[in-house]
Amino acid sequence: MKRVKLFLAVILSVLACFFLLPGCGGEKGDETGTGTIRDELVVIIDNTKIAVLDPHNPAASSSSTAWAFHMIYDTLVKEEDGQFYPDLATSWNTDDWKHFTFQLRDDVYFHNGEKLTADDVVFTVERAKENPGSAGYDKLAIVESARAIDEHTVELVLESVNVEFLWYLSDPRASILNREAVEADPDKGTWIGTGAWTVSEFASNEYVVLEANENYWGEKPKTKKMTLKYVAEESTRLMQLENGEAQVCFSINANDYSYVESQPDKFVTYSFTTNNNSFIAFNMNDPICGDINFRKAVAHAIDREAMVASAFNGYGEVNTLGTFWGYRTEFKNTDIPIIPRDLDKAKEYLAQSKYNGETIEIVSAIPDLIKTAQIVQAQLAEVGIKTTIKETDPPGMSAYASYADNKAQMIVYTASCGLNGGSMKALLYPYGSSNRASYNNEEVARLFDLAVTQPDPKEREATYHRIQEIVAEELPYINLLNTVFLVCCAKGVDGLKLSNLAFHDLTYMYMVE
């Protein structure tokens, strides 16, 4: 195969749409020279909690946890607009998309003072592979072997050819950890990264306090201290933003959006449509939910427009296609028709199913999605399906509806969908970290494995389209909508980089007073 060299940038695919959105006025900061930079910012995170600071823990699956990872750690490469650039690696090359060699920076130090070496990369890969179900495992398990050639050169050999591998390496869950720190303290050693921010305090599911790393190898933050905190009550979030207890809020109630937007003297607002899907998942191992007739009955019973209007106050993009794929994920199959709302059809399929009046449990987490589950509950009652709702939180969802031990029947939730087609493996591949349906189709798994060996985009597109066709036929998931979020900032906040993936980068955010 023709030798491929990747030094300053590698383009695996050119995406038609943009995926990083500059927010709160820009990315680099205030250039006017007026005002002073506030030393500390308090950020109210979205409706997901930060349970652990460890990319290899299955509980580290929330979007807000990825924000912290962006700040604490660095990855080998970084991605913008489908192009790849140096981060911890200054250059890389491959002959065959299976054997990769990375040259590391020689001026990078971890927060504990240890110098970054190739051995830390080897350790990170090996540790990720030991933790199935984690997002880190999803990104690095395809590495068959990792070897330190010398102190600043590492070789990664994949199990098979993978033309999307750099996508995986650019994900914040593929961040590099320090061997010495983790082996000395398995609980807190994962807090040690090479990033622009160090962990000062951490209370699981409550808050993380970060301080600017004055010894950072790259551009240093303008802000000195940043707290990312979870606030349970939506009304309290807006109150804290208004009274100055917080300067940024990702998660006010959608019903308050119009009020905030009407106060331009106090707030700056920015919206983004998440690439992540909000969905109904069916436990394919459950006797009732594993019945295709029952799943089709549910599909014909739901009204997506009502969900957006009621649960999200109109801030959502209703899914209009029958494919289960990310909002802007590449190779989306636009030829699969959606299953329309048709209550008569729903009742016909229900009569053919194994359902016999049982109460079906719907599991959900996050306030807006719990509201969505309540709407689903009411819509299913119209066709005679009885349900009960079990409310949990994201870590609880990960434990309750895991691939290997799925206690749920139906799930109303959301999941991360990357921009590359292979990212959908997390939802559709055996042991995927977000496979809430416990879906296991050998042909789908084979096609995912095939797609990443196909350098020709047209061949890869055909493979991904076939995956979507099979999934649409079997219906382990029903795609509902993509949420439109409003980020509310105090006037003067700048430097935030928003992402359709909801993996926002707060590293260089600051506020001019």
Which CATH number is 4-223+491-511's, of 3.40.50.880, 3.40.190.10, 3.30.390.50, 3.20.20.70?
A: 3.40.190.10
Is residue 21 over pLDDT 60?
no
Is residue 22 over pLDDT 50?
no
DSSP string, 123-173: HHHHHHHT-TTSHHHHHHTTEEEEEEEETTEEEEEESS--TTHHHHHHSGG
Q: Which of 7-11, 83-87, 364-368, 392-396 has the lowest mean pLDDT?
A: 7-11
Give the pLDDT score at 33. 53
Determine the 3-state secondary structure of 43 from DSSP.
strand
Backbone angles phi, psi at 249, to 5 degrees: -140, 125
Kind plus residue range of the DSSP H or E element containing 412? strand 410-415
- Going by C-beta distance under 8 Å and a sequence separation of 6 or more, which residues neighbour residue 187? none
Give the pLDDT score at 26. 39
**Is 265 or 362 the better-scoring residue by pLDDT?**
362
Give the pLDDT score at 10. 37
| Topology agreement, domain 4-223+491-511 and domain 277-483 | no
pLDDT, one tens digit per residue, over 82-92 is 789 999 999 99
For residues 164-190, average pLDDT: 96
In terms of C-beta density within 10 A (0-12 exposed, 13-18 middle, 19 or more buried), how is residue 462 classed?
A: middle
DSSP 341: P
CB neighbourhood size of 266 (10 A)? 12
Task: Please report, for residues 44, 220, 247, 259, 494, the alpha-carbon distance to residue 240 in angstroms, rounded to integers and kept in the order given.
Answer: 9, 28, 8, 15, 19
Residue 354 token pair = 């194994």
Give the pLDDT score at 15. 37
> Looking at this protein, which amino acid is placed at residue 213?
N
Give the pLDDT score at 34. 63
Measured on CA atoms in the order 340, 341, 347, 353, is the torsion positive or negative?
A: positive
Asked whether 506 and 67 are in contact (CB, 8 A), the reply is: yes
Radius of gyration of the chain measured on its C-alpha atoms? 23
Rounded Cα–Cα distance for residues 467 and 158 (Å): 23
Give the pLDDT score at 8. 35
DSSP string, 85-107: EESSEEEEEESSSSEEEEEEPSS
Rounded Cα–Cα distance for residues 305 and 319 (Å): 9
Give the pLDDT score at 63. 85
Give the pLDDT score at 249. 95
pLDDT, one tens digit per residue, over 411-464 is 999 987 888 999 999 899 998 888 999 999 999 999 999 999 999 999 999 999
pTM for this model (two decimals)? 0.74
As a whole number, the mean pLDDT across the chain is 90
pLDDT, one tens digit per residue, over 371-388 is 999 999 999 999 999 999
pLDDT, one tens digit per residue, over 99-131 is 999 999 999 999 999 999 999 999 999 999 999
DSSP 335: T
For residues 150-167, average pLDDT: 96
pLDDT, one tens digit per residue, over 269-291 is 888 888 888 999 999 999 999 99
Give the pLDDT score at 147. 98
Rounded Cα–Cα distance for residues 463 and 333 (Å): 11
pLDDT, one tens digit per residue, over 197-245 is 999 999 999 999 999 999 999 999 999 999 999 998 888 999 999 999 9
Determine the 3-state secondary structure of 134 from DSSP.
coil
Residue 52 token pair = 């652990």
User: Which CATH architecture describes the domain 277-483?
Assistant: Roll (3.10)
Give the pLDDT score at 313. 80
> Looking at this protein, which amino acid is placed at residue 302?
I
What are the residue boundaries of the structural domains of the chain, listed by start?
Answer: 4-223+491-511, 277-483
Taking each helix axis as running N to C, give the angle between helix 367-381 and helix 292-301, from 0 to 180 degrees, rounded to the nearest 10.
Answer: 100
